[in-house]
């Protein structure tokens, strides 16, 4: 469900689960294996890319049902812990929709290259859920109020708006997207390898050192509390049954 290409210091992972690159547990485990291979080598740049229709429309909703939710959440989170441990630069090339888990994967990368066709969104709240990685990481990337609004609204953001907020590094022409993205990556090619990795390592230590702990806390809230609420399960059922959810949780009712 993924393709791997290696060329010099560049390790590229192409999401290849058409048409929407839904991130199921099997695909996430393939990504994990690829990231472990990356970490065992001497690479400077990790690139995530996909086809034009969608970067990824998110994680598999069926695997958020009670039988598999714990495995899904932990498997998904492990991908980001592996990404976090990489001392090179991570790049997402987004030439389509990046939604839900696909949005988390794209915006977690150090560099986001997007075409005008790209769009980003965390619609989990509309299913009565929340995105654990976004909750743990996005306040470090967004202005905090914008991060909360993005997660709580479930609204989709255009590439232009994401660029305005500083979440996208470069807007590229869709017609020449691959060629322009490759040119952008060449900026990192001739730098000192030791300085490059030490700079990234220092940046993580100064600004993102608490990500693993925050992710664990977000996952625990999701699995121990949210996944057991009536509304969390109603949202999943409504999505799979293609109907409007009927929320049961009373407004103002406390959730322990």
Calpha distance 141→111 (Å, rounded): 11
113 in Cβ contact with 93 (< 8 Å): yes
C-beta of residue 57 within 8 angstroms of C-beta of residue 97: yes
**In which element (H, E) is residue 119 found?**
strand 119-121
> Given 30, 63, 104, 219, which residue is catalytic?
104
**Catalytic site residue from 30, 63, 124, 219:** 124
Residue 129 CA to its chain's centroid (Å) = 16
Q: Which residues pair with 48 in a beta bridge?
A: 13, 92
Three-class DSSP category at 111: strand
Angle between helix 132-141 and 101-108 (nearest 10): 30
Residue 216: which region, alpha, beta or left (left: phi > 0; alpha: psi -120 to 50)?
alpha
DSSP 121: E
Nearest to 136 by CA among 32, 72, 213: 213
What does the block give as tokens for 229?
A: 């609420």
**Is 124 a catalytic site residue?**
yes
Q: Is 104 a catalytic site residue?
A: yes
- Written as one string, the DSSP assignment of 25-63 is HHHHHHHHHHHHHHHHS--SEEEEE--SSEEE--B-GGG
Could you list the active site residues? 104, 124
């Amino acid at each position: 469900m993924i393709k791997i290409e290696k060329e010099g210091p560049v390790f590229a992972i192409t999401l290849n689960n058409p048409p929407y690159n839904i991130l199921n547990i099997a695909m996430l485990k393939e990504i994990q294996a690829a990231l472990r291979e990356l970490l065992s080598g001497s690479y400077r740049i990790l690139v995530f890319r996909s086809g034009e229709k969608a970067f990824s429309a998110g994680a598999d909703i069926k695997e958020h049902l009670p039988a598999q939710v714990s495995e899904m959440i932990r498997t998904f989170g492990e991908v980001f812990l592996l990404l976090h441990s990489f001392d090179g630069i991570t790049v997402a090339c987004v030439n389509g929709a990046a939604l839900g888990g696909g949005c988390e994967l794209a915006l977690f990368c150090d560099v986001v290259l997007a075409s005008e066709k790209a769009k980003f969104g965390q619609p989990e709240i509309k299913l009565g859920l929340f995105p654990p990685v976004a909750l743990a990481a996005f306040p470090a990337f967004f202005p905090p109020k914008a991060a909360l609004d993005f997660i709580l609204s479930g609204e989709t953001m255009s590439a232009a708006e994401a660029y305005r907020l500083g979440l996208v590094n470069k807007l590229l022409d869709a017609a020449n997207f691959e060629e322009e993205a490759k040119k952008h990556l060449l900026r990192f090619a001739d730098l000192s390898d030791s300085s490059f990795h030490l700079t990234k390592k220092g940046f993580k230590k100064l600004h993102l050192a608490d990500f693993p702990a925050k992710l664990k806390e977000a996952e625990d809230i999701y699995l121990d509390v949210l996944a057991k609420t009536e509304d969390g399960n109603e949202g999943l059922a409504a999505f799979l049954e293609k109907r409007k959810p009927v929320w049961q949780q009373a407004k103002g009712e406390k959730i322990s």
